[in-house]
Structure 1
Amino acid sequence: MATEEVWVGSWRPHRPRGPIAAMYSSPGPKYALPGVTGLNCHDPRKWKAPAFSFGTHHRQFSSSCSPGPGYLVPSNITRAGRDGTPAYSLYSRPKDPLLFQTPGPGRYSPEKAGKMTYYSAPAYSLSARTKEFRNDQTPGPAAYMLPSVLGPNTVNKSSAPNFSLTGRSKIGSFHEDLQKTPGPGTYRVVDAAVYKHKPPQYSMTARNNMPGDTTKKPGPGAHHPEQVTFTRLKPPSFSFGVRHSEFIAPLIVNITD
């Protein structure tokens, strides 16, 4: 009986570093082939048949004005009109209409029509002031006054000549400039760089960076041309799964008697 264990191959028992495919009952993420059904994410290597839809339910463009078959037709209405049978109701008896009542001779008062038929003198009353009197804006006698007799604005009186000490007017005077000639202070000194050699000029501005493209672009190691399958055909690939399973019994070499 040997005390040391005998191992077959290079595999040694160890703690699993992660889940293996044998722990799942379905393939799971082992396959990454695009589907061949539907319209979205279809396999570009497979032929795709045309897809049709039932469309959408559009809104009603115009409202219907007919009541439809849901309205109730009275039983006495035919295609030629009413059938002519008498109809009765349980309404109350209507009242008799009142005839026009002509007034008699005693209803007239001829004595009250004197102002309408005969000449009468004006009559005045001492009634109170009306409410509209407060809103009356008519000026009273104290609001008027005679015009002044001082100054040149006299209406019905003769006035003596008036003189004033006003300022000198520029219009029509001797110093009025009709030509609008500019004075000596209007002109400015011409820069010497206009008609002579202009020396270089420098400024103390901040340092500017050279314009360039600041977008991030992938390097040569980010591309995988061997994984491109859209430009060429790719043969089918198959796998044999994992080499071992956790459901298989371990190999027992040393058997004790």
Structure 2
Amino acid sequence: MEEYPDRKTAVIAAKVTGPGPGRYNLPPTVGFVSHDYTKFSSPAYSFHGRPSNSAHVSDSSPGPRYYVDASLTRFGRSAGPSYSMLARGRSADKKNDIPGPGTYSPEKCTVPTQRKFPSYSMGSRTRYRSMDRVPAPNSYSLPPVLGPRATAKVCAPAFTLSGKYQHGGHSEDLSGTPGPAHYQQTDPSRYLKRGPAFSMQGRQPNSKAEQKTPGPGSYYPEKVNQHKRHAPAYSMGIRHSEYTAPLIIEVPI
């Protein structure tokens, strides 16, 4: 017998692969085939096909497919009176067509002994005779009260602007002399003190070499390691085993 036997390692249950609960099937409790023998099953029947009529020709008769009216009894028909709605037939004699009660309108009948309100009807306009052609009231127009043509009213003088006449008008230039716009105006800077003058021109190119200065976005202060050993760096660690037990701490209630 060995003094120090081999140490047995614990087997992790998660590593043992096996079928889950969904792999097992219980016997059915419905139907006849493979029925659960621990459960009670009702009697089962099957529908067979219709036999051929050639085997039993004498017994070929319809089954209970006849419809028997509920009002038929062994003592006869037992039901109340029934009626049907049909169209009105044509009268043989048209002279006997008597109006029904809905044809009369007693509310429209006036009683001679009672007073009633005046009633009017809207009819079409009658045609005028040849001797009665008189203009309507809107055909007349009153004299205006504005402008120089107002009668029996005091009005202010009115003027109109007309076009310029080239010949025969009061503005016609018979002498043919030039107007004030035909003379050239002397520049005042010739006989007066000239003021400062400016002009807008394009930007002059710089003769010196352009100095390309980096902007604020060109610097990376997080990468500076002159005052430290190195800049902070982070790495992604390894994934822990899925079989490691989680840390469970009891929290006081």
TM-score category of the 2 structures, normalised to the smaller one: under 0.3
Greater RCO (Cα-Cα under 8 Å, separation 6 or more) = 1
Which TM-score applies when normalising by structure 1?
A: 0.18
